[in-house]
């Protein structure tokens, strides 16, 4: 059996795509292997969101060059966002790469590898493709949690972002195809699904008849065996009262919302082309908190966007404190080819970006710790999903509001169960607890 080694960078959608590729290549009898040295085919599924992500891929390719030299019949391919963005430039820089293809070409992966096998050199496919719901997965993929792509692409055109180039227009998958896929996952033991889309809360408006994410959540809620439903990433611009109420009312939906603010300054938000003001964003946050009191909130923030002054940055710090996020992902602005912000004249220095990054990490860590404290003493249902990373004798799981809880697991057989856990202690990145009722009791 030929062997496939897959290296995945970037977001959850890439993880999902990698699984599809492994699943599709099963038809050509490829089986997954852990080490590049054992592989007949190595595929790098890449990310372009920041320059650093692309640097990692080129250095990984450099590391694989020796293998290719020693075994010229080894096939090396680069797929995903970087393929779409950099196209022929990848093979210019790394001529030993046999195959480059973007995400629209995933469905054709078997064919593309076949062309290389037949001796064609430097195969490149970054063309468009029809939207197909691929559900193939490798044999090893049965697990408690799974990602499910519900829509592809983004048309927001934020001035910092390459996604419209790498992932194309917004296209939603049909609700029936999504529900079918999730039924299949539930049948193979999956208990939690995360619905994925670059702007997942814009789901369905391009369909005929149009629908929305709230309706999709209700459909997925009806799938037997699924205990929890998550979705990411939402854009403040498309956030509706209907969706906020669905988080409260649809029983299996987690009380967690990732809602990137990007900046706390109206001036910078306008330059980013985000389509909302700070006041509007905070109004949404108030509505969310009033509707779903236990909600966990997280966000993405870019520091050092062109033209960002100390005063703009101070406003961002202010928003983090006011919203009191449970988690904030902070990124230093990275110039991306072809995006409007890359050409703005007032770029911020690396030193200032690093300093702002450090300040925000400190502030967001502090408010997140305060947020966790409000859960101490409560009994919360926890979906047990594994063993604690810090102590192998303990089980680990998540509350409905997305907090990791580690607790003593006397007895076994809890994996995949939802059990009541009393939160006893709050640590910086997790909660500790104790089973509130004997093992076996489910909420």
- Is 333 a residue that touches ligand 5AD (CB under 6 A)? yes
Burial (Cβ within 10 Å: 0-12, 13-18, ≥19) of residue 25: buried
Residue 395: both structure tokens together: 């089980």
> Which of the 8 DSSP states describes residue 262?
B
**Least Cβ distance, residue 166 to ligand 5AD (angstroms):** 11
Question: Contact region for ligand 5AD (CB under 6 A) — 212-220, 265-273, 274-282, 333-341?
Answer: 333-341
The residue from 194, 201, 334, 388 that contacts ligand 5AD (CB under 6 A) is: 334
H or E segment and range at residue 408: strand 404-408
Q: What is residue 149's three-state secondary structure?
A: strand
The footprint of ligand 5AD on residues 167-196 (CB under 6 A) is none
Please say which residue, 238 or 422, places its beta carbon nearer to ligand 5AD.
238
Q: Which residue has the tokens 């703005």?
A: 344
The residue from 262, 298, 371, 396 that contacts ligand 5AD (CB under 6 A) is: 262
**Least Cβ distance, residue 301 to ligand 5AD (angstroms):** 6
**Least Cβ distance, residue 201 to ligand 5AD (angstroms):** 14
The residue from 278, 331, 388, 406 that contacts ligand 5AD (CB under 6 A) is: 331
Question: Contact region for ligand 5AD (CB under 6 A) — 145-153, 243-251, 328-336, 343-351?
Answer: 328-336
- Is 264 a residue that touches ligand 5AD (CB under 6 A)? no
The residue from 5, 20, 50, 400 that contacts ligand 5AD (CB under 6 A) is: 50
**Least Cβ distance, residue 233 to ligand 5AD (angstroms):** 7
The footprint of ligand 5AD on residues 152-171 (CB under 6 A) is 160-161
Question: Contact region for ligand 5AD (CB under 6 A) — 170-178, 245-253, 332-340, 393-401?
Answer: 332-340
> Which of the 8 DSSP states describes residue 173?
P
CA angle 206-253-264, nearest 5°? Answer: 70
Q: How many Cβ atoms from other residues are within 10 Å of residue 139's Cβ?
A: 10
Q: How many Cβ atoms from other residues are within 10 Å of residue 192's Cβ?
A: 20
Backbone angles phi, psi at 374, to 5 degrees: -65, -15
Please say which residue, 90 or 259, places its beta carbon nearer to ligand 5AD.
259
- Categorise residue 305: left if φ over 0, alpha if ψ from -120 to 50, beta otherwise: beta
Q: What is the DSSP string of 3-69?
A: EEEEEE-SSHHHHHHHHHHHHHHGGGT-EE-S-GGG-SEEEEEE--SSHHHHHHHHHHHHHHHHHHH
- Cβ distance 358 to 373 under 8 Å? no
List alpha helices for 253-328, DSSP H: 266-272, 278-291, 310-323
Size of the site for ligand 5AD (CB under 6 A): 12
Question: Contact region for ligand 5AD (CB under 6 A) — 31-39, 249-257, 327-335, 359-367?
Answer: 327-335
Q: What is residue 301's three-state secondary structure?
A: strand
Residue 302: both structure tokens together: 């870019």
The residue from 266, 300, 318, 408 that contacts ligand 5AD (CB under 6 A) is: 300
- Is 356 a residue that touches ligand 5AD (CB under 6 A)? no
Give the span between the Cα atoms of 222 and 410, in whole angstroms: 32
**Least Cβ distance, residue 315 to ligand 5AD (angstroms):** 16
- Cβ distance 123 to 100 under 8 Å? yes
What is each CA distance from 418 to 11, 226, 249, in whole angstroms?
A: 27, 11, 19
- Is 403 a residue that touches ligand 5AD (CB under 6 A)? no
The residue number whose beta carbon is nearest to ligand 5AD equals 300
Question: Contact region for ligand 5AD (CB under 6 A) — 72-80, 126-134, 224-232, 329-337?
Answer: 329-337
- Is 302 a residue that touches ligand 5AD (CB under 6 A)? yes
**Least Cβ distance, residue 163 to ligand 5AD (angstroms):** 8
Residue 381: both structure tokens together: 């249902």
Q: Pattern of binders to ligand 5AD over 242-261, x per CB under 6 A?
A: ------------------x-
Please say which residue, 364 or 399, places its beta carbon nearer to ligand 5AD.
364
The residue from 336, 353, 400, 403 that contacts ligand 5AD (CB under 6 A) is: 336
What is the contact surface with ligand 5AD in residues (CB under 6 A)?
Answer: 49-50, 160-161, 260, 262, 300, 302, 331, 333-334, 336
């Amino acid at each position: 059996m030929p062997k496939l080694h897959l290296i995945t960078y970037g977001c959850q959608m890439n993880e999902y795509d990698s699984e599809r590729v492994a699943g599709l290549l099963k038809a050509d009898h490829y089986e997954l292997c852990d080490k590049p040295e054992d592989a007949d085919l190595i595929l790098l599924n890449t990310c372009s969101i920041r320059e650093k992500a692309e640097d990692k891929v080129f250095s990984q390719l450099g590391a694989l060059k020796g293998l290719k030299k020693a075994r010229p019949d080894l096939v090396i391919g680069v797929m995903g966002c970087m393929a779409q963005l950099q196209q022929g430039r990848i093979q210019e820089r790394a001529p030993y790469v046999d195959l480059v293809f973007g995400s629209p070409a995933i469905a054709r992966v078997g064919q593309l590898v076949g062309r290389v096998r037949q001796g064609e050199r430097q195969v490149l496919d970054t063309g468009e493709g029809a939207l197909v719901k691929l559900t193939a997965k490798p044999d090893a993929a049965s697990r408690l949690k799974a990602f499910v792509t519900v829509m592809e692409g983004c048309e927001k055109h934020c001035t910092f972002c390459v996604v419209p180039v790498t992932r194309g227009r917004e296209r939603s998958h049909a609700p029936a195809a999504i529900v079918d896929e999730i039924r299949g996952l539930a049948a193979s033991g999956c208990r939690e699904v995360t619905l994925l889309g670059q702007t997942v809360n814009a789901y369905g408006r391009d369909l005929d008849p149009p629908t929305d994410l709230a309706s999709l959540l209700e459909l997925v809620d009806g799938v037997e065996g699924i205990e929890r439903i998550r979705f990411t990433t939402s854009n403040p611009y498309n956030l509706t009262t209907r969706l906020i109420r669905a988080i409260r009312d649809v029983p299996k939906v987690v009380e967690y919302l990732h809602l990137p603010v990007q900046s706390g300054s109206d001036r910078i938000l306008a330059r980013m082309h985000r389509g909302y003001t700070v006041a509007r964003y905070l109004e949404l946050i108030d509505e969310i908190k009033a509707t779903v009191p236990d909600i966990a909130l997280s966000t993405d923030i870019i520091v050092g966007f062109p033209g960002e002054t100390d005063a703009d940055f101070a406003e961002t710090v202010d928003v983090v404190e006011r919203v009191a996020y449970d988690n904030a992902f902070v990124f230093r602005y990275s110039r991306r080819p072809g995006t409007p912000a890359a050409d703005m004249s007032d770029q911020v220095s690396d030193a200032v970006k690093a300093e702002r990054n450090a300040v925000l990490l400190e502030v967001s860590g502090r408010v997140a710790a305060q947020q966790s404290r409000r859960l101490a003493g409560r009994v919360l249902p926890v979906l047990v999903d594994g063993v604690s990373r810090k102590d192998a004798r303990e089980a680990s799981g998540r509350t409905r509001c997305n907090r990791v809880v580690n607790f003593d697991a006397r007895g076994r057989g809890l994996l995949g169960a939802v059990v009541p856990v009393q939160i006893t202690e709050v640590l910086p990145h997790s909660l500790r607890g104790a089973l509130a009722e004997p093992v076996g009791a489910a909420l």
